[in-house]
Copies of this chain bind each other. A is one copy, B any other.
Amino acid sequence: MEVALGRVPPDAVVENGTLVDVATRRFVEGVHIAVSGSRIASISTERPATGPNTRIIDASGAYLAPGLVDAHYHIESSRLSPRRHAQITLPHGTTTLFEGSHEICNPLGLDGVRYILEEAEGLPQKIFVGVSSATPPTPYETAGAYIGGTEAAEALRLPGVAGVDEVMDYTALFAGEERLHSVIEAGLASGKVVEGHGVPSPPQADAFLATGVSSTHFSGDGVKALALLERGCFLELKPRDSRQAIRDLVAAGIDWQMVGMCVDDRPAETISRLGHLDYELRICIEEGLDPVTAIQLATLNNARHWRKEHEVGIIAPGRRADILFLTDLEGFEVDRVMADGEMVAEKGRLTVDIPIKPAPSYVLNSVKLPRPVIAEDFEVRAPAGKKSVNAVVLRPFYFSGDLGPLTRELPVEAGAVKRDLTNGINKVAIVRRGGGGIGVGFWEIGYEAGAVAMSVLHDSHNVSVIGATDAEMARAVNRVAEMGGGIAVVRGNEVVAEVPLPIAGLMTDRPPEEVVSGLERVNKEAAKLRPGKLLGANPVDTQTFIFLTCFPWGIVLTDRDLFNVRTGRPVTAVW
């Protein structure tokens, strides 16, 4: 206020740019923006008075857009700690993240929220946290922690917690699960935002939204998008997966105020290759959305949905001074980035020091087996006297509860059911990260040799392992445990590639370039073990997702063996 009134000189003035006005969807030329500390004091076509220490930042020829606001994001999926993650995403223009915290909360409980908020302190990238609604993600698996209504309410009292993170298990929701409904109630009572995810098409959409859930992270077509919008659901587009929906919505000529966008999950190596929310924004423009509307989706619309438009999402007095300098609006190339009043990046490179804080002890050593696992832990016993058995042989992304196509014959040796490597059938196990539970099953994956284990396993983040032999599986799991969490690719007795992720078993605070090359290496080494097509080009990244237990998955493997998540019943693995 004092700076806007001209009583105190501004700390910085961004001079002579073209404002992208996201409130009205217009441009204002020749704008000067006065900055005081981390916030914007005033905007004017008249040059503000300056003092001897006022920094002048020339914006001639540049469009000035608000810093990007990601409506839904999991920092953990980058494998980088929040501060390391800021180092690689600020240059892409992401100045605010709404962090869905269930990845870190599943192993750590509310300590996960605490860690993210501590990391965010003093960081020019704003991180607002949604408290996990998915701890545990489903009743079928054992996560390390529990967040019910009481715990959620405790977190929601923190100013840095902006709401409840993605309600997604609609089987449990429709079954009236007390824990999940009480978390939603806590969110509604707090006046903060209750986020949804995977909201289905009507009529189930209506039931989902009737519980108070406000939004969904959207991949789908225009018909579904319109149906959800009509029902008051804020759409957080994942543009990469929603190209058709974007074209359809553009064609329908809708009002876009209830549409935003998000990245959701992206490993560091993919960020370094594609970009971040800037990449998603370019996809929207490619698919025919006008650039200013696309910018609205990624700034003001996301901020308004999260009830933080007084803080971020618009270049306006009182808001954080988060400003992108763009030379090409259509191409959306981020030339320079101001965050919290400081120039933090230029031409894709960080230009400030973001110091790394030592990881607090409460986030370390969360992957800790009471004893090393051994090959015999992965043995599957056949019913007595059988030479071969019928077995459930899962495969990735099998969205059905029908066991028929999964039933295969497997050989038995010395009473134990064997893999069928010639037909690409591996053994898979989920090892509870604190010990005490191992679920074992057969999956059609294709690995011809070796084993791949990791403590990143959406959403429970137990340790998953896929292997061609029980001994290699044991070696890989033990290596992950020795690192206190991470990813290990094993061949024979040798660890051929690894990425330690000691922070909650999910993240590391090593330099991003080191982590990027580490992640590239584990993917490459895993690919050499020939996983076949089912795990795609980045088998390690895919492995992190194939054990989800929420809808639309059907038959799942957890640390407590096989479940049908559509019926809530255990499934017999071999007979």
List residues of A whose CB falls within 8 A of some B CB: 1-6, 19, 21, 23-26, 28, 39-44, 46, 159, 173-174, 188-192, 194, 202-212, 214, 226, 229-233, 252, 254-255, 257-258, 296, 300, 304, 307, 309-310, 314, 316-319
Bound state CA distance, A24 and B234, in angstroms?
11
Bound state CA distance, A231 and B203, in angstroms?
41
Chain B residue numbers with a CB within 8 Å of A233 are: 316
Chain B residue numbers with a CB within 8 Å of A174 are: 1, 5
A203 touches B4 (CB 8 A): yes
> A71 to chain B: closest CB distance in Å?
15
Central interface residue in A5, A39, A252, by most chain B CB within 10 Å:
A5
Knowing A206-B43, A255-B296, say if A24 contacts B230 (CB, 8 Å).
yes
B314 touches A232 (CB 8 A): yes
B257 touches A257 (CB 8 A): yes
B25 touches A254 (CB 8 A): yes
11 additional A-B residue pairs with CB within 8 Å, beyond A26-B230, A255-B257: A4-B206, A4-B210, A24-B254, A24-B255, A42-B206, A205-B317, A206-B317, A209-B317, A212-B318, A231-B317, A232-B319
A258 touches B23 (CB 8 A): yes
Complex: chain B residue closest to A228, CB-CB: B23
A317 touches B232 (CB 8 A): yes
Of the candidates B159, B212, B229, which one forms a contact with A310 in the assembled complex, judged by CB atoms under 8 Å apart? Answer: B212
Subset of 16 A-B contacts with CB under 8 Å:
A2-B207, A5-B174, A5-B203, A41-B210, A42-B202, A42-B207, A44-B202, A188-B310, A206-B317, A207-B317, A209-B318, A210-B318, A231-B317, A232-B319, A255-B257, A255-B296
Chain B residue numbers with a CB within 8 Å of A204 are: 4-5
Bound state CA distance, A532 and B488, in angstroms?
90
Query: Shortest 6 CB-CB distances between A and B: which pairs?
Result: A232-B316, A42-B206, A4-B207, A257-B257, A24-B254, A25-B255
Bound state CA distance, A159 and B21, in angstroms?
34
Complex: chain B residue closest to A249, CB-CB: B24
Complex: chain B residue closest to A194, CB-CB: B310
A230 touches B21 (CB 8 A): yes
Of the candidates B159, B207, B231, B310, which one forms a contact with A5 in the assembled complex, judged by CB atoms under 8 Å apart? Answer: B207
> A66 to chain B: closest CB distance in Å?
10
Chain B residue numbers with a CB within 8 Å of A258 are: 23-24
Knowing A191-B192, A207-B5, say if A23 contacts B316 (CB, 8 Å).
no
A210 touches B317 (CB 8 A): yes
Bound state CA distance, A531 and B3, in angstroms?
46
A210 touches B1 (CB 8 A): yes
Bound state CA distance, A537 and B159, in angstroms?
51
Bound state CA distance, A25 and B258, in angstroms?
11
Of the candidates B19, B26, B209, B307, which one forms a contact with A316 in the assembled complex, judged by CB atoms under 8 Å apart? Answer: B209
A23 touches B314 (CB 8 A): no
Central interface residue in A2, A23, A39, by most chain B CB within 10 Å:
A23
Complex: chain B residue closest to A48, CB-CB: B203
Chain B residue numbers with a CB within 8 Å of A304 are: 257, 304
Chain B residue numbers with a CB within 8 Å of A310 are: 188, 194, 212, 214
Chain B residue numbers with a CB within 8 Å of A205 are: 317
A231 touches B296 (CB 8 A): no
A43 touches B230 (CB 8 A): yes
Of the candidates B159, B203, B230, which one forms a contact with A189 in the assembled complex, judged by CB atoms under 8 Å apart? Answer: B159
Chain B residue numbers with a CB within 8 Å of A191 are: 159, 190-192, 307
B23 touches A229 (CB 8 A): yes
